């Protein structure tokens, strides 16, 4: 146990794979891993109350400092009681540094070795972020886990640009470590390098020398495809310490998660449960269900037989289809609620199987099932 009480302990390891069960102790409570973290980019998981998120089984959620910096502003969040009170969430929170927006809003950015100037997507105002400012903002917000500022290069970019992004990511990580001043927070480094394995090895090795509290694998799920994602993740994990948490950022289908857990990844986040839920796409153990389909007009069954979520206990597929067709906001809420619970049930099962042994065999069966569903990225 560290002097601050923040630590990570591996409890069980699977004999046939790299999968492990662990406990991550933070200032706002324990997180059992492998864990899936719902995304609350601007301070809320879209359309879902914090109570509903907690009832899904979630133990930790995300927020993003770029979006909070623009609206409502860091000063306002502090005046409203800090990030946990602002979000109405008393459990652990992880904040992303805004580095991903360097990639996703590339048409609005100017980047050099010092940092990034954004043109706000809200009103065009100039916003500047560098490693030190991103860290200090996160120190002020008070999340339990904060991320280093990094550069996520676009998939397929020139090798020279990718190498430059890796060099900046390492340099910025060092600046983040030097600037970090809140001992109630864990600081994670982010490994970049696209699908170039030598660059992944270089970036991971340099970050490990800086001795972060945990390590994230960033820059994937950006168009490289499932096989490249799996290959890159498996390679990168070997360069990360066994006694620190490993976080695969933005990855997210059930098949992706199971495959990455096999490699020893502990933490995941993705917008799929709620984004797909808002578009009438439900995750179930028997495959995807598209609730706008005419097949569900008179269907009195729940979204998923055996699911204990609020939606499945109280509403039928036919009713939910009706809500979508008339534009009733309850439809997206119900499917999002179910999807969040589906993911948490999946993670609980993963932890249970690892602890009992036999995860390798179980995961092979599950991955075969998802391949039978079609396995399209963004679905299963």
Q: What residues are annotated to the active site? A: 96, 269
- Alpha-carbon gap, residue 128 to 50, rounded angstroms: 31
Looking only at the bridges linking them, the beta strands covering 246-248 and 214-217 are parallel
Residue 230's Cβ-side half-sphere holds a number of Cα atoms within 13 Å equal to: 13
Hey, is 317 helix, strand or coil?
A: helix
Residue 267's Cβ-side half-sphere holds a number of Cα atoms within 13 Å equal to: 27
Task: Determine contact, residues 248/34, Cβ cutoff 8 Å.
Answer: no
- Alpha-carbon gap, residue 263 to 235, rounded angstroms: 9
- CB count within 10 Å of CB 84 equals 18
- Alpha-carbon gap, residue 164 to 181, rounded angstroms: 28
Q: DSSP string spanning 7-36? A: EEEEEEE-TTSS-EEEEEEETTEEEEESEE
Q: Which residue from 297, 302, 261 is spatially nearest to 285, judged by alpha carbons?
A: 302
Residue 50 makes CB contacts below 8 A (sequence gap 6+) with 87, 88, 89
- Alpha-carbon gap, residue 171 to 174, rounded angstroms: 5
Check whether the bond before 266 is cis (ω within 30° of 0).
Answer: no
Hey, is 214 helix, strand or coil?
A: strand
Q: How far is CA 149 from the centre of its chain?
A: 16
Check whether the bond before 72 is cis (ω within 30° of 0).
Answer: yes
The shares of helix, strand and coil residues in the chain, as percent rounded to the nearest 5, are 45, 20, 40
End-to-end CA distance of the chain: 38
């Amino acid at each position: 146990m560290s002097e601050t009480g923040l630590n990570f302990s591996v409890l069980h390891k699977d004999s046939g794979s790299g999968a492990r069960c662990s406990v991550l102790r933070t200032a706002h409570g324990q997180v059992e891993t492998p864990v899936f973290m719902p995304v609350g980019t601007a301070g809320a998981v879209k359309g879902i109350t914090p109570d509903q998120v907690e009832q899904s089984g979630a133990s930790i959620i995300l927020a993003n400092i770029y979006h909070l910096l623009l609206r409502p502003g860091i000063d306002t969040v502090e005046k409203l009681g800090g990030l946990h009170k602002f979000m109405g969430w008393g459990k652990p929170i992880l904040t992303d540094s805004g580095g991903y927006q360097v990639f996703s809003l590339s048409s609005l950015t100017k980047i050099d070795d010092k940092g990034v100037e954004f043109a706000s997507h809200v009103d065009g105002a100039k916003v500047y972020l560098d490693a030190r400012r991103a860290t200090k903002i996160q120190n002020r917000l008070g999340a339990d886990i904060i991320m280093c500022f990094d550069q996520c290069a676009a998939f397929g970019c020139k090798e020279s640009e990718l190498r430059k992004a890796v060099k900046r990511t390492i340099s910025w990580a060092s600046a983040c470590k030097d600037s970090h001043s809140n001992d109630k927070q864990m600081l994670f480094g982010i490994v970049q390098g696209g699908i170039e394995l030598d660059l992944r090895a270089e970036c991971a090795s340099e970050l490990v020398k800086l001795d972060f509290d945990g390590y994230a694998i960033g820059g994937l799920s950006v168009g490289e495809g499932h096989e490249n994602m799996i290959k890159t993740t498996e390679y990168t994990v070997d360069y990360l310490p066994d006694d620190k948490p490993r976080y695969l950022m933005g990855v997210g289908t059930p098949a992706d998660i199971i495959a990455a857990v096999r490699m020893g990844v502990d933490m995941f986040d993705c917008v799929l449960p709620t984004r797909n839920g808002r578009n009438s796409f439900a995750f179930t153990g028997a495959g995807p269900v598209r609730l706008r389909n005419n097949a569900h007009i008179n269907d009195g069954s729940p979204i998923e037989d055996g699911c204990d979520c609020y939606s499945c206990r109280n509403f039928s597929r036919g009713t939910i289809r009706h809500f979508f067709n008339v534009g009733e906001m309850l439809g997206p809420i119900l499917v999002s609620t179910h999807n969040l619970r589906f993911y948490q049930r999946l993670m609980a099962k993963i932890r249970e199987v690892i602890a009992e042994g036999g995860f390798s065999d179980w995961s092979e069966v599950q991955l075969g099932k998802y391949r039978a569903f079609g396995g399209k990225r963004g679905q299963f």
